Structure 1
Amino acid sequence: MLYKAYGSYLNILAIFSKKKAAKKAFEIFTTVRKGQVLPPQKVFLDTARKRFINSSKYRLQVYHWPGKKETVLLVHGWESNTFRWRNLIAKLQEFDYNIIAFDAPGHGYSSGKELHLTLYADSIQRLITTYNPHHLVAHSFGGMAVLFNEFRNNNDGIEKIVTIGSPSEFHEILAHYQKILGFNRHVLKAFENYIIERFGSPVAHFSSSRFVAGSTKKGLILHDELDMLAPFHASENVHAQWKNSTFIRTRGLGHSMHQPQINEKIVEFLTS
C-alpha cells in the first residue's frame, strides 16, 4: 500500500511538473532502506582489519582478511553488506587468498543514503585503484555494477570476474519498479529523460549483456533458475555475449546462493 501511495503521488506530481516527478521517482528508486550491520553480523566483521577510504563524497568501510595468494575483491548486492560473504570468505581463507571487501554507499558502515549503478561503479573503481585486485566476485546488483565498471575502465590487472544472481537490463529493472509503484507512462517517460539528462545515456545503454560484448576476461556466471529477485534469463543473455565466460545454472538454491557447492565452484574457477 505504501508503494502504491508513492505511485499515486508521482502521478499527481507529474501533472504539475514531469521533471519534479522524475527526480522524486529517482530519489525513491535509489534510497537504501536496509543493509545496515546488525549486532550478530558485527562479530564476524570484527575479525577483519578495517579502515575507511574516501570515494567522492562518501566514506567506504573496507574489510581486509590478509592472505599470500592473489587479491580478491568482493562486491555485495542491493541492501546487503560485507557479512553476506562470510561463507565464501572462509573458503577463500582455506586457499590463503588476500581478501578485500567493502560496504557500498548507504550500506553497512559506509556513509550515504542512496545507491545507483554509476555511484556503485565509481566506488568499485576506487577499491580497484587502491588494492589492485586480480579477481572480482560480485552478487546481484553488485555484479551489474562490476561489469559496468569494467566496461568503462577495462582494468588491466583484473584477470577473472564472477557474478552471482545478477540482473542485466536496466529497462527490466525500471519496468519492475513501475509495476510495484503503479506510476503511469508520463512518469516513466519523464524518468527515462531524467536518466539521459543526468548520466548522458538512455536507459537501454545500461545493459550487462552490452557491457561484456567485447570483454576478453575470464568470467564465471552463476544463477538459479528459480531466482525470484533477478531473472534467470539475465545471466543467459550475459553469457551469450561474453565469449570467455562459463555459465553454471542451479535449481532451488535461491537468490543469495551461499551454499558450499557454490563457494567451491568459485574457488575452483579462481585457482584454475
Structure 2
Amino acid sequence: MKKLVNRILALAYGAYFNILALFSKKLAGEKAFTLFSSPRKGNVLPLQASFLKKAEDIIIEVGGKQIQTYSWAGTKDTVLLLHGWESNSFRWRNLIQFLSDANFAIVAFDAPAHGNSSGGIFNVPLYAECTQHIVKHFKPSFIIGHSVGGMAALYYQYLYPQNSIKKIVTIGAPSELYELMVHYQNIVGFNKKVLESLDLYFQAHFGYGIRDFSSSQFARKIQIDGLLFHDIEDPITPYHNSEKVHANWKNSRLISTRGLGHSMHQGKVNNQIIDFLKSKKRANFSS
C-alpha cells in the first residue's frame, strides 16, 4: 500500500511539473531540482546515535550549514568516509571497525540534509564543497565513498587536485548525472520539456549541463590511485557506471563482485580496502 501511495504521489509531482513547464521552464526546472535534491530519509536513529556518540564530535560550518563530523583516533594516516544518499555516518560502522583494528585515524561526516547536519537540500557539488572544508581541517590521506559519496569524492578530486589525498576508494558509485536524471524522469513521469528545464537549471546554477557532469570524464584528470568496487548485480547503481570510470582512470583497479548488493559491508570487501590503503607501492593497474 505504501509503495502504491508513493507511486501516485510521484506521478502527481510529474504531472505538476509538466503543467508548470508550459508556463515557465525556469520555475519547472527549479521545482523539479528541489524535489530531486530533498532527502526523505537519513536521520540518525537511536541505535545509530549510540554508536556515533563514541566518536569525537566536531561541528564545521560550511556556507551557513552546520556539518556534523565524527572522528576516531589512530596512529596511521587519516581516512575520510563519505556516505551515500539518504544515509549517514553510521553506515560505515563495519568498515570503521576494520580501519580501527588497522590503527588508521578515521573521519566521517553527515552530508547536508542528512544525519545530524543541517540543511534541506543535498547535491554532489554541495557535498564536494563540504568535503573540501573537511579535508582542510583534518588533512586525510584517503577518501572512501559509497554510492553518491563515491561520485562526490571523484568530483572533489577533480575540482581540488592539490590536496592531501593520496588514494580514493569508491563503492557502487554512479557516474553519469544524465542517467540519474533519466531515472528520476522515469519514476516521476515528467516530459522532455521538464528534463530540458532541469538542464537549464544546472547550467545556470552550476555552470554545466546534465550531460556534462560525468565521473568518467572527471577521472581522466585524476592522477592519484583508485580502487573501485561494484557488484555486477547491483540493484541500485548499474555496474557499467564503475566500468566507465575505470576505463578513464589511469591508476585505478575495478573489483567486480556478484551477489554482494549495493551496500557492500562484507568483510572481504573491507579487507581489500585495508590492503589497498596499506600498500606503499604506486599502482600501475592494467585491469
Q: Fold-level match, TM-score > 0.5?
A: yes
Gaps of 5+ in 1: none
Separation of aligned partners in 2, 1:113 and 1:157: 30
The residue aligned with 1:209 is 216
The residue aligned with 1:187 is 194
Of 53, 57, 60, 2:60 maps to: 53
Q: Which runs of 4+ in 1 moved over 6 A?
A: none
1:197 is aligned to 2:207: no
Q: Equivalent residues in 2 for 1:30-179 (5 A)?
A: 30-179=37-186
Separation of aligned partners in 1, 2:186 and 2:163: 40
Q: Equivalent residues in 2 for 1:7-26 (5 A)?
A: 7-26=14-33
> 85-94 or 7-16, which moves further after superposition?
7-16
Cα deviation for residue 203 of structure 1 reads 1.3
- RMSD between aligned alpha carbons? 0.7
The residue aligned with 1:243 is 250
Cα deviation for residue 222 of structure 1 reads 0.2
Secondary structure at the aligned position of 1:212 is classed as: helix
Separation of aligned partners in 2, 1:229 and 1:8: 25
Cα deviation for residue 32 of structure 1 reads 1.2
Of 241, 256, 268, 2:263 maps to: 256
Cα deviation for residue 53 of structure 1 reads 0.7
Superposition TM-score, scaled by structure 2 size: 0.94
Deviation string 1:177-197 (CA, Å, 9 cap, x unpaired) is 000000011111111111101
Cα deviation for residue 214 of structure 1 reads 2.2
Cα deviation for residue 255 of structure 1 reads 0.4
Paired amino acid for 1:63: Y
Cα deviation for residue 156 of structure 1 reads 3.4
Aligned identity (percent) is 50
1:269 is aligned to 2:273: no
Secondary structure at the aligned position of 1:86 is classed as: helix
The residue aligned with 2:227 is 220
Gaps of 5+ in 2: 1-7, 280-287
Separation of aligned partners in 1, 2:80 and 2:9: 37
Paired amino acid for 2:198: F
Cα deviation for residue 155 of structure 1 reads 3.1
Cα deviation for residue 43 of structure 1 reads 1.0
Separation of aligned partners in 1, 2:154 and 2:18: 34
Cα deviation for residue 71 of structure 1 reads 0.5
Secondary structure at the aligned position of 1:14 is classed as: helix
Deviation string 1:126-162 (CA, Å, 9 cap, x unpaired) is 1011111000000000111110011011033211100
Superposition TM-score, scaled by structure 1 size: 0.99
Paired amino acid for 2:55: A
Cα deviation for residue 44 of structure 1 reads 0.7
Separation of aligned partners in 2, 1:15 and 1:96: 58
Secondary structure at the aligned position of 1:158 is classed as: coil
Cα deviation for residue 24 of structure 1 reads 0.3
> 153-162 or 66-75, which moves further after superposition?
153-162
Separation of aligned partners in 2, 1:105 and 1:159: 25
The residue aligned with 2:284 is none
Separation of aligned partners in 2, 1:189 and 1:14: 10
